[in-house]
Amino acid sequence: MKLDDITISRAIIEDFSRTLLEFTEVDCAVVGAGPAGLICAAYVAQAGAKVAVYERKLSVGGGMLGGGMMFPRIVVQESALPILEEFGIRYREYVPGYYLARSVEAVGKLAGAASDAGAEFFNLVSVEDVLIRDGEGVAGLVINWTAVETAGLHVDPLTIGARAVVDATGHEASVCQIVNRKVAGGKFNKGLGIVGEKSMWADRGERELLDTTREVYPGLFVAGMAANAVAGGHRMGPVFGGMMLSGKAAAKLVKERLGIE
């Protein structure tokens, strides 16, 4: 069969436009498709929720994709091995308690699991503001194409309704920064008290994630490095056990808010 260029274009435009319309209201919006965001999206979608993942870059995976200084390997502690096994990520023991996995394989399988569960990905999309409603706190996102942001164009954005928003944007904690700057200090609290991340201390940073992963403002949750950045935890480098467990913990909190299991 001869390829029809116009048919190809129509197929892409028609399907994505329909998807974009379908996902103007979601149960959970995950901002950032790094390891914590991917795992959170997978677990929430597996519970039957409508989940959208917004990634400002072309690729997903965040810091995990590049491994350590572009060596495509990651280290995972023993406590997170059940997550590797659940998502079919191969690993081998390096020394007792520490395991090696391939970064590209890990990202691919986590993204595939989230997609298989029904999560929808919107890459090259940036979040420039949040939607606020009295009595609800954060009720959605204001989004635009990353290219618009990069070029500095004056193009008005669109809004997405969400019953829960997860900031998994990594070191920037960009959604929390928006809320801290433009929203917090009103009826709910007096700011988020964003401390900013501390210098590298992998062991402490990984352990801190279990405490810093939480709801920081009504309807807004933090996971992964964004959680440590808000609370003042340490950075960790290419070790990802805590990041994975943080994504799972954030999913549990989101499901509790949504009233699902």
The pLDDT tens digits of the residues spanning 95-126 come to: 999 999 999 999 999 999 999 999 999 999 99
Give me the CATH number covering residue 108: 3.50.50.60
Give the separation between CA 150 and CA 145, rounded to whole angstroms.
9
Residue 100 and residue 94 in contact, taking contact as beta carbons nearer than 8 Å:
yes
Please check whether residue 188 lies inside any domain of the structure. yes
Please check whether residue 3 lies inside any domain of the structure. no
Tell me which DSSP letter residue 199 carries: S
Number of domains in the chain: 1
Question: Using DSSP, how many helices (H) and how many strands (E) does the chain show?
Answer: 10, 11
Please check whether residue 126 lies inside any domain of the structure. yes
Please check whether residue 83 lies inside any domain of the structure. yes
pLDDT above 90 as % of the chain: 91
Residue-range definition of the domain harbouring residue 44: 23-258
- DSSP strand E in 134-208: where? 137-145, 158-167
pTM, to two decimals = 0.96
Residue 249 and residue 214 in contact, taking contact as beta carbons nearer than 8 Å:
no
Please check whether residue 85 lies inside any domain of the structure. yes
Give the separation between CA 84 and CA 73, rounded to whole angstroms.
14
The pairing of strands 220-222 and 125-133 is unpaired
Closest among 242, 244, 212, 218 to 230, alpha carbons compared: 212
Closest among 194, 205, 210, 197 to 236, alpha carbons compared: 205
The CA angle 228-125-260, to the nearest 5 degrees, is 60
**What pLDDT score was predicted for residue 188?**
46
Please check whether residue 63 lies inside any domain of the structure. yes
Please check whether residue 18 lies inside any domain of the structure. no
Closest among 49, 243, 232, 250 to 166, alpha carbons compared: 250
Residues in contact with 50: Cβ distance below 8 Å, sequence separation at least 6, in sequence order: 23, 25, 26, 27, 28, 118
Q: Give the pLDDT confidence of 222-247 residue by residue, as tens digits.
A: 999 999 999 999 999 999 999 999 99
Question: What confidence category does residue 185 fall into, taking pLDDT thresholds of 50, 70 and 90?
Answer: low
Please check whether residue 13 lies inside any domain of the structure. no
Rounded mean pLDDT of 139-163?
A: 97
Paired residues of 77 in beta bridges: 98
| Ordered strands of the 98-102 beta sheet | 73-77, 98-102, 92-95
Give the separation between CA 7 and CA 256, rounded to whole angstroms.
44
The pairing of strands 51-55 and 120-123 is parallel
Lowest mean pLDDT among 32-36, 150-154, 185-189, 193-197: 185-189
